Structure 1
Amino acid sequence: MSDPNEDPKAPNTVPDALIQHIGSLALPELKSVLSYVERRIETLRTPIEEEIEAAAAGEVLKIEDHGAYALVRKHPPNPEGSGVNTDQVSLYHVRREQRMDGTESLHWVYLGDVHNAEQIRCKSCGGMLDKEAAVCPHCGTENPDYTET
């Protein structure tokens, strides 16, 4: 086990001059650098909508980007052949997931089929969702009490 008071080992891909400069920063400055790096990563990464469109099996109908996650409505692939099942609309909660090797992938969670697109409000968190959803995509409450809107 490593010593928690010891400086972490820097990756070989980071220039020594940058490592030395970062090593000289105090905590508030390090937090500012971290915030800047996170914002910089967001400007360079492919928008989640584009990643979803590229990765989705079936036909994407609507993507609602909520920052940390997206809600996706789509027709699933036709189980009996090519094309999509236009009689069915499925709802998914999709977020980026960090892998152990440092790469990212999309994590899809099936929330249920949408049979009626009527919107309702979750009494637990107040978020809007489809009337037929079994799980609130905002707070994760299973079978939450709903109120019609």
Structure 2
Amino acid sequence: MDGEAEEPVALSDLRAEAVALIDDLSEAELRATIEYARDRLQFVHPEVTEQIEARDGEEIVRIDDRGAYTEVVKRQPCATGCDECPHEPILYHVTEESQLDGTTDLHWTYLGRVYEG
């Protein structure tokens, strides 16, 4: 490599108008654009931790972002007539999975009970 950087090639998902605007920005404006784009992405597509909500009767005990997955501990209501309630909370690993239609869904993997005490 001769040390010279090659001109970047815009991704096909980026509109030509946006590429033209970005190409005319100064370094400071580019850095500000990157920061804005990161914030905008969080607004448009929130982190997994922000998508997790308790359903009726559930209690979210803890949510921890572990990078590749999100660890969620929650208590869930039992079936009517359960004589063993209350149970210990349950641990899940939650990941975001891309769907064929371009959307994403949360995938919950049951890991087991969390014993308190």
Note whether the superposition's TM-score is higher than 0.5: yes
Q: Which stretches in structure 1 are left out of the alignment for 5+ residues?
A: 1-9, 23-35, 118-149
Q: 1:56 to 1:69 in 2, by over 3 A?
A: farther
**Helix, strand or coil: the match of 1:109?**
strand
CA deviation vs aligned residue, 1:93-132 (integer Å, no higher than 9, x gap) = 0111111111111110000112246xxxxxxxxxxxxxxx
Alignment of 1:1-149 (within 5 A): 10=12, 15-18=15-18, 39=38, 41-42=41-42, 44-53=44-53, 58-80=58-80, 86-116=86-116
Deviation at 1:43, TM superposition (A): 5.2
Q: 1:66 to 1:114 in 2, by over 3 A?
A: same
**Helix, strand or coil: the match of 1:53?**
coil
- Output the TM-score relative to the length of structure 1: 0.46
Structure 1 residue ranges (4+ consecutive) displaced by more than 6 angstroms after TM superposition: 19-22
Q: Give me the identity figure in percent.
A: 34
Q: 1:43 to 1:66 in 2, by over 3 A?
A: farther
Deviation at 1:68, TM superposition (A): 3.0
- Report the number of matched residues: 96
Alignment partners' CA distance in 2, 1:106 and 1:79 = 24
CA deviation vs aligned residue, 1:53-88 (integer Å, no higher than 9, x gap) = 15687221111112332111111222127xxx5323
In the alignment, what sits opposite 1:6? none
- Output the TM-score relative to the length of structure 2: 0.57
Alignment partners' CA distance in 1, 2:20 and 2:74 = 49
**Helix, strand or coil: the match of 1:17?**
helix
Q: Which stretches in structure 2 are left out of the alignment for 5+ residues?
A: 1-11, 23-33
Alignment partners' CA distance in 2, 1:58 and 1:72 = 12
Alignment partners' CA distance in 2, 1:97 and 1:57 = 26
RMSD of aligned Cα (Å): 3.7
Q: Which amino acid aligns with 1:68?
A: A
Alignment partners' CA distance in 1, 2:72 and 2:87 = 17
Question: Which structure has the higher relative contact order (CA within 8 Å, separation 6+)?
Answer: 2
